[in-house]
Structure 1
Amino acid sequence: MRADPTLPHHRLPSADLDELSCGEGGPATVDLLLAAERSRRLLLLRMLDDATDLGPAWDLLSAVQRRAPEVVDELLMYPQTGMWLATALRRLRGSEPQDDPPLWVVLGHVSSLAAAAALRAELDFSIEIPMRHGRVPLPTLGCAELPATEPWTTATVRGEGGRAVVVAPGAEVAVPTPPDAPAPGWHPLRRLTLGPANHRLELALDDVDPYRTYPRPTEPRPLSEDATEQWRRLLERAWAVLLDEQPRTAEAMRRGLLSLTPGPARERFRPRSVTAGDAFGGIESSEPDDHVQLAVTLIHEFQHTKLGGLLHLTPLLTPDTTEAPELWYAPWRDDPRPLDGLMQGIYAFVGIARFWRTHRLASGAATPLAHFEFALWRAHVTTALRQVHRHERLTPVGAQLLDRLYALCTRWLDEPVPDAPLALARMCAADHATRWRSHHLRPPEPAVRETTRAWLSGAASPPRSLAATPEVATDDSARWLDTLAVLTRHRLTGEDTEKAAATVTAALRADALLAAGEAEAAQEAYLSHLLTTPDHPTAWSGLAQSLALTGTSPTAAHFLRHHPERARAVFRSLTTATGTPPDPIDLATWLAT
């Protein structure tokens, strides 16, 4: 009987695929994704060894593997190792910018990994590793800091009997034993243990590994003790919320959430977070406004982590053979997105909508803001899904995933939400879509010119040519399209929106009035803004929403909500032709005929 020459490969059972297709996935499913990720990283490491000589680092890693294989496994599966492997291979292939750090520093990071592994395995060793602006990171352990006169040079790490020193010309730093405590010249990698004994989350708060930021590496920036303690408190409270309200997801996170890279705080209600498919288990996050926002961030990025793991096993889309990729409206972005990017966002924001669906019903959390968030995100995700859930490029797995998410979100649309936050969520959802259209859709130029002539000649209605499908043309100036939603959050937390507008980037006074419910004043403010700034794209959206609320001109309101790009283009053309802008409401009413 001949042996089967087929190499073993990872399979995702149908039950686990079903879980992931609904935006979920328990601990067992995450374990399968982790096992596949381990194999992938071993392959990447072998590819790197084949492409370049890893020399003494490879020998030292091999020695650790023989003595303490669990140490090599943990280092291999650390998110930042995955990011480094992918970065190194892209640099070797020339598919990533060849700027700082130099290639030898990138490739030399394998020596840092080997030194960390050997120290943890208590081997005796000596190895030269890169020093970056005076800092010498030892992955999963911490970072030594020494004087340096050059940005990129080397240091030597020597280990004996489980103790190590980092040596550079004229300086030496002893790595403390154990290495998780601060010491002169040493910044430890802080490892947090969160939650009760039977539901603990063990998480690295990584502020020192150069590959902790995605998609580009950055140099170590150790946190102060006060900042570390603040992150610990926020994470403790966020974890308590997830254990109470999302217990199955929390159990999965205990397996698949390995590190969090802390970043500085941002504008209120505008956090930043990111993951990378190459860094399974790692999250980068700005300091949150509060623990609930942090819980949402963990959900959001863990969704990306799971989908990234699935994509390493099976494609969701067939290759795009067109010359220019299709671009789509993503209600959580300022820019148009390709199909694969839109699917990533859909999967992540289904998780956010699910969080708010549960959180708004939790004891003490049934606030207008929580109801607003659920209503807003279920609307946004459903809008995105309606565009693409039967797209021709979907593979069978991709079609199953989007069909099930679409069915889930449409069921959520039937769930009751109090009238006031529901109305605000609908207004903000419509406003974001209208702002996006104003920026990124372009009516045909000949049609705009023809329409301009028709208006100036007193025609009863615009030419049909203006109704042609507009072109999606990315406007790089499109920023802060979530402004009305941000101001609405300020309102729902009891703040004066006009005062808050001073802290909200890109907010107009008219936006603050609209968020406060002062529709008539907002309408006048938007009209005034358009007449003094004729090319302002997002004021058209605010005018549409305020007109809908005041009932001043239902025809103009409907037209501007659905076709602001036509009004903007013709308005701009008329202003250029005559030197005087027309009345925006009169123009929109005429364009709607």
Structure 2
Amino acid sequence: MAELLHGEGGPAVVDLLLRAEHSRRLLLLRILDDTTDLGPAWELLSEAQRLAPSVVDTLFRYPQTGMWLATALRRLRGAGHLDEPPLWVVLSHISALAAAAALRAELDFAIEVPVWQGFAPLPTLGSAELPVSERWSMATVRSESGHAVVEASGTTVALPLPRDSPAPGWHPVRRLAVGPSERRLEVTLEDVDPFRTYPQPTGPHPLSDEAAGQWREVLKQAWEVLSREQPGSAEAMRRGVFSLTPTPATERFRPRSVTAGDAFGGIEASEPDDAVQLAVTLVHEFQHTKLGGLLHLTPLVSDSTDRSPELWYAPWRDDPRPLAGLLQGIYAFVGITDFWRTHRTAHAGRTAMAHFEFALWREHVMTAMDQVHRHPHLTPLGAALLDTLRNRCAGWLKEPVPEEQLALAGLCVADHAARWRAHHLRPSPSGVAETVRAWLSGASGPPPELATTPEVVPDRSARWLDSLAMLVRHRLDSQDGGPASPEAPEKADAEVTGALPADAFLAAGDATAACDAYVAQLSTDRPPAGAWAGLGQALRISGHAPRAAHLLGRHPERARAVHDALARAAHSAPDPIRLATWLGSPPTSR
């Protein structure tokens, strides 16, 4: 337990979590059997368990099996989405599991299994492709004396021996083994199991041989990085990561990855920019995996938070998060911070980005932890975990970082927090109304009512709040020998979704041009909320209008709310810098 509280956890800890997960899944299977009739599938699975118990144990250790169990029980409770497969398809997946177990146990049998959009998946083995027109249907799996086939609509697909060999109509599950024998990582490159994607299942989508080869190579390189720089984490991953689900590439520096508490050991990840990015993703998601396993044993947050959830600032998200969600992020990004801390000194080249990432994430993580340190809704274990992680991060804050990367990280930390405030915090409506009256009457400063604690109101339009950090990453990567960034800053924003033209000037270090561009954007009919935060940072760096810079750095939501209210009341908006300077003046009493 002490290792997990520290954000770590070796093979023995992972083995403990795996045993708990196995027991939990067997309990869920019993609940499912008590809830619905599993019919012939239950009988075939029981026979496989009797003859080859290790086969069934392996099948139920597989991440996708855990995801299926949770999905089936959720659907039986009536929870689901319109675009999810029919309930009968989800429940029939037990037949596919039973067929896979029986094939591995070398039983003779025949059973019907579901067909997902032309594919009949057999978990841990592969998927048969069938020419069926229906989106959802059934096929028959038969096995006799070691010869197995999948039949539907007059088509028969013969399953080869060994099962991991390709054959006409058969897409075997690909297994990747990377690293030397004593430190080898073995995972399934999962592209056919419907429950490989989280939180909703999707039909099989077999990779091309070329794409699978690319994933094998980048995983090999990522594993070399982890084995060399994070040997303890790598050894734990060898015991606790079983499948990697590939998804299409996303925008540069913005990978997408997902894990689910019900799918211990499974990671869904977009095609990475490079091996280092995949290594970071594996660290990130394995942290979630370990914490998810711990949460299946004991809570970190009391149940009372479900009835009236408080929402908090999570520096890695665009949206406000509840306490439990914030803890998940803290745990994951402690791991990421530790990765960059090690990586920045692991080799001589390409260190600018690593120094920046370490400085950025240690500040972000500490900011998140300071908000909820000793929160009354933390359980004793939750409080101990946060205390331990916070003490660890406090030590990292003392470690030196080169001046340029430290300044850029500080800029991005402040900018992200201010953008989040501009979007999600709402000053008191009465305070805003009183402030508008004070401005229009020529008062020397805003009323005290504007400074009352704002309310957290999630803004669904908040997207890409990390745009400035993304622009900085493009700049630093070019310094480290990566692709060159556009010479003209005003063209750089085209590389980053959500970036404002002014953000590109700010990231390039031209604070004066950034000020002008932010003011121009704030003078439009629909000014972007993030421009208030950016203007504050640009003013701070340029040294112009320090009172406005201070106000916008700490309380951009006040400027946004009053500016919008004045535009409605007076049918014209005031100069943004003049308004922010006035709002930053000492409050006046009526």
Length-normalised TM-score, structure 1 = 0.96
Q: Deviations over 1:543-589 (max 9, x none)?
A: 01100100001211111011000000001111122222111111111
Correspondence for 1:4: none
- How many Å apart are 1:529 and its aligned residue? 0.8
Correspondence for 1:167: 151
Correspondence for 1:423: 407
Correspondence for 1:297: 281
Instruction: Tell me which amino acid in the other structure corresponds to 1:377.
Output: W
Q: Contact (CA 8 Å) 2:464, 2:497: kept in 1 or not?
A: yes
Correspondence for 1:9: none
- How many Å apart are 1:82 and its aligned residue? 0.1
Residue among 460, 478, 487 paired with 2:462: 478
- How many Å apart are 1:322 and its aligned residue? 7.0
Q: Kindly indicate whether residue 63 of structure 2 is the aligned counterpart of residue 79 of structure 1.
A: yes
Residue among 478, 499, 508 paired with 2:500: 508
Instruction: Tell me which amino acid in the other structure corresponds to 1:513.
Output: F
Q: Kindly indicate whether residue 546 of structure 2 is the aligned counterpart of residue 549 of structure 1.
A: no
Write out aligned runs for 1:138-537 (5 A): 138-320=122-304, 323-365=307-349, 367-494=351-478, 495-496=485-486, 497-537=489-529
Correspondence for 2:481: none
Hey, what's the Cα distance between the residues in 1 that align with 2:203 and 2:269? 16
Residue among 59, 69, 73 paired with 1:89: 73
Q: Contact (CA 8 Å) 1:556, 1:588: kept in 2 or not?
A: yes
Structure 1 segments (4+ residues) deviating >6 Å: none
Hey, what's the Cα distance between the residues in 2 that align with 1:122 and 1:492? 56
Q: Contact (CA 8 Å) 1:122, 1:163: kept in 2 or not?
A: no
Hey, what's the Cα distance between the residues in 2 that align with 1:487 and 1:227? 29
- How many Å apart are 1:162 and its aligned residue? 2.7
- How many Å apart are 1:99 and its aligned residue? 5.2
- How many Å apart are 1:474 and its aligned residue? 0.4
Q: Contact (CA 8 Å) 1:124, 1:161: kept in 2 or not?
A: yes
- How many Å apart are 1:498 and its aligned residue? 3.9
Hey, what's the Cα distance between the residues in 1 that align with 2:498 and 2:121? 39
Q: Contact (CA 8 Å) 1:379, 1:413: kept in 2 or not?
A: yes
- How many Å apart are 1:324 and its aligned residue? 3.0
Hey, what's the Cα distance between the residues in 2 that align with 1:41 and 1:275? 17
Hey, what's the Cα distance between the residues in 1 that align with 2:201 and 2:47? 28
Q: Deviations over 1:491-549 (max 9, x none)?
A: 00122354432121111111111001111111110011101245320000110110010
Quick one: structure 1 residues 365 and 349, their matched pair in 2 at CA, closer, same or farther if it must change by over 3 Å?
farther
Correspondence for 1:14: none
Larger mean Cα displacement after TM superposition, 501-510 or 82-91: 501-510
- How many Å apart are 1:376 and its aligned residue? 0.3
Hey, what's the Cα distance between the residues in 2 that align with 1:189 and 1:592? 62
Q: Contact (CA 8 Å) 2:373, 2:387: kept in 1 or not?
A: yes
Q: Contact (CA 8 Å) 2:521, 2:527: kept in 1 or not?
A: no
Q: Deviations over 1:350-377 (max 9, x none)?
A: 0000000000010135511100000000
Instruction: Tell me which amino acid in the other structure corresponds to 2:339.
Output: F
Identity of aligned residues (%): 67
Instruction: Tell me which amino acid in the other structure corresponds to 2:78.
Output: G
Residue among 550, 560, 569 paired with 1:577: 569
Kindly report the root-mean-square deviation, in angstroms, between the aligned alpha carbons of the 2 structures. 1.1
Correspondence for 1:587: 579
User: What runs of 5+ residues in structure 2 fail to find an aligned partner?
Assistant: 479-484, 586-590
Larger mean Cα displacement after TM superposition, 465-474 or 356-365: 356-365
Q: Secondary structure at the match of 2:112?
A: strand
Q: Secondary structure at the match of 1:493?
A: helix
Quick one: structure 1 residues 322 and 493, their matched pair in 2 at CA, closer, same or farther if it must change by over 3 Å?
closer
- How many Å apart are 1:592 and its aligned residue? 1.1
Hey, what's the Cα distance between the residues in 2 that align with 1:259 and 1:182? 19
Q: Deviations over 1:204-257 (max 9, x none)?
A: 000000000001001111111111011011100000000000000000000000
Quick one: structure 1 residues 296 and 180, their matched pair in 2 at CA, closer, same or farther if it must change by over 3 Å?
same
Quick one: structure 1 residues 249 and 584, their matched pair in 2 at CA, closer, same or farther if it must change by over 3 Å?
same
Instruction: Tell me which amino acid in the other structure corresponds to 1:396.
Output: P
Q: Contact (CA 8 Å) 2:21, 2:293: kept in 1 or not?
A: yes
Q: Contact (CA 8 Å) 1:359, 1:366: kept in 2 or not?
A: no
- How many Å apart are 1:169 and its aligned residue? 2.0
Correspondence for 1:566: 558
Length-normalised TM-score, structure 2 = 0.96
Hey, what's the Cα distance between the residues in 1 that align with 2:76 and 2:575? 59
Hey, what's the Cα distance between the residues in 2 that align with 1:321 and 1:341? 11
Correspondence for 2:121: 137
Hey, what's the Cα distance between the residues in 1 that align with 2:349 and 2:333? 20
Instruction: Tell me which amino acid in the other structure corresponds to 1:505.
Output: T
Q: Kindly indicate whether residue 8 of structure 2 is the aligned counterpart of residue 24 of structure 1.
A: yes
Hey, what's the Cα distance between the residues in 1 that align with 2:526 and 2:154? 64
Q: Secondary structure at the match of 1:502?
A: helix
Hey, what's the Cα distance between the residues in 2 that align with 1:371 and 1:195? 27
